[in-house]
Amino acid sequence: VKVMNWVDGVESATIVGLSARFGAVLPSHAAEAPKLSAVLTNPVNCCTSSSSQLSNAIALAKRGDCTFTEKAQIAQSGGAAGLLVVNDNEDLYKMVCSDNDTSLNVTIPSVMIPNSAGKNFQDLLLSGKHVKLQLYAPKRPVVDFSACFLWLMAVSTIICASVWGEFIACEQVDERYNHLTRKEPSDAATINRDEPEKEILEINTKGAIVFIIMASAFLMLLYFFMSAWFIWVLVVLFCIGGTEGMHACIVTLILRVFKNCGQKTVHLPVLGEVLVLSVVILPLCAAFAIFWAANQHASFAWIGQDVLVHIDNSLRNIDNCIYSQVSTMDDIGSHHGLLEQRFGPNRVRPDSHRIIIYIFNMTRGICLMITVLQMARLPNIKVASALLCCAFAYDIFWVFLSPLFFKESVMIAVCSLLLHGHYSYPNCAPLLMEVARGDNNGGESIPMLLKIPRFFDPWGGYDMIGFGDILFPGLLVAFSFRCRYSVLKIFSYEILINSAAAYLLL
């Protein structure tokens, strides 16, 4: 329930409450809801008839001393048009009927609000301010278009990465197309000029197991040693990796279209002979990463986060653990009103003119993910099975079995610490919507997942997916296509579509 409020005619931040399971149903649009004055009950618990004039007003009462239904009946008998119950803390609980309320006749709406919001209302009313309230419960759309876009983007990225190496990068005419590295002249390099040299990391079975062990170690590091300097180390590594990945993809695409650009080189100290195109593109990629790092607390920071989020971990092996921390948080944007209440509507829903910027920058994220799936490859189905099974066991252990050893779920604890600044298990899920934040991180943040604002949801918030949930299945889809293509030497839509469809269903 949204509780809009005005103090002496000036609109204040909207409060989010929870409606009772009894009483009238609130309207779904603000235009249909009446704007009524708020009145403190006397006594404040509203357990006996109030001496305050409640006629055609919304009664404000504290929780306790009697049942919710008794409060509602007393407020209704006093002529109140609604009831706001102030909870003892910031959590919200369902207000239900007791077992003895068999003949309940409550016709007014009842809403519970957090303690801080209720105390603020009480202070305003006691100081003589005139407070007006408007209660309504907007409905979420049947189809979440932001989730559909997130889903489509993940699948498209995997499909594009699968065919990238065979139909885009394979036609480069110069093996130096995407590297700012030293080039040693040799006859062999001249002879093999038409065969690009690729940087490929093949994952073996032992590597898959070590990968999960490193992920566990990093998770424990976050669990015990979260701090501001640690966050900034990750941010710096993230920006370096993201810059390198974006540089590789952009240069590859330009050389695919304008092959003559690969013929112009320049000699640089230490680096040797490099492409002029690489020298031009690299500062632009670095500038974007630096801009995001410097403005990561701004309301539009989610744009840069999604842009950079895919590449950093794979290029610098940071994804060894971050995958696990976000894989259990896919599409967890429920209770969005809590986020709007804490950070304001501008932090939840970006302005419409930023959508164009978002789409442009999201293109970079897709390019970075393609680079990841080009660098890391599965050699056979045995390694794929080992990697995915270990990742599955990893999630099961750290989410469900870790409480047996640590008295709490390490995965959920880390997620809670990273995402909203304090530990609130088991009620952390509704709050896992903001950029990663820790208790001792000094307010700094690190990119942890891919998120898209719910543009058409009146409650705002974000749809989210762990980027590990794109990379890990993507490795298998890319392997399936590459295996079929290497045997038949023809493009097979069948294997690619089947693999992508399996990813969609999962």
348 compared with 143, residue with greater pLDDT: 143
Domains by residue range for the chain, with CATH: 2-136 (3.50.30.30), 145-175+215-505 (no CATH)
Q: What is the pTM of this model?
A: 0.62
3-state SS of 174-240 is CCCCCCCCCCCCCHHHHHCCCCCCCCCEECCHHHHHHHHHHHHHHHHHHHHHCCHHHHHHHHHHHHH
Q: Which range, of 5-14, 72-81, 156-165, 189-198, averages the lowest pLDDT?
A: 189-198
Q: Which of 59-63, 347-351, 478-482 has the highest mean pLDDT?
A: 59-63
Q: How does the average pLDDT of the chain come out, rounded?
A: 71
Q: What is the DSSP code (8-state) at residue 400?
A: I
pLDDT digits (tens, 9 = 90+) for 38-96: 888 888 888 888 777 888 889 888 888 888 888 888 888 888 888 989 988 887 877 87
Calpha distance 335→457 (Å, rounded): 12
pLDDT for residue 169: 55
CB of 367 closer than 8 Å to CB of 249: yes
Residue 306, Cβ density class (10 Å: 0-12 exposed, 13-18 middle, ≥19 buried)? buried
20 compared with 502, residue with greater pLDDT: 20
The yes-or-no verdict on residue 491 having pLDDT over 70 is no
> Could you tell me how far CA 312 lies from the centroid of its own chain?
16
pLDDT for residue 355: 55
Active-site residue set: 395, 469
Tell me the H-state helices in 309-424. Answer: 312-316, 319-326, 336-343, 345-348, 355-375, 381-396, 403-406, 410-420
> Could you tell me how far CA 330 lies from the centroid of its own chain?
8
Q: Report the alpha-carbon angle 87-90-93, nearest 5.
A: 55
429 compared with 264, residue with greater pLDDT: 264
How many CB atoms sit inside 10 A of residue 406's CB?
A: 13
pLDDT digits (tens, 9 = 90+) for 167-187: 665 544 444 434 444 444 444
pLDDT for residue 502: 65
Per-residue confidence at 211, pLDDT binned at 50, 70, 90?
A: confident
pLDDT for residue 483: 76
pLDDT for residue 30: 84
Please give the average per-residue pLDDT across 200-219, as a whole number: 87
How many CB atoms sit inside 10 A of residue 12's CB?
A: 14
The yes-or-no verdict on residue 425 having pLDDT over 80 is no
Calpha distance 415→433 (Å, rounded): 10
- Within 8 A by CB and 6+ apart from 4, the residues are 11, 14, 30, 133, 134, 135, 136
Calpha distance 340→15 (Å, rounded): 8
The residue to which tokens 């278009």 are assigned: 145
89 compared with 443, residue with greater pLDDT: 89
- Within 8 A by CB and 6+ apart from 405, the residues are none
6 compared with 430, residue with greater pLDDT: 6
pLDDT for residue 397: 92
pLDDT for residue 231: 72
Q: Report the alpha-carbon angle 468-471-472, nearest 5.
A: 80
Calpha distance 415→432 (Å, rounded): 7
Cα radius of gyration rounded to whole Å, the chain: 28
By DSSP bridging, strand 18-19 and strand 10-11 are unpaired
Classified as helix, coil or strand, 283 is helix
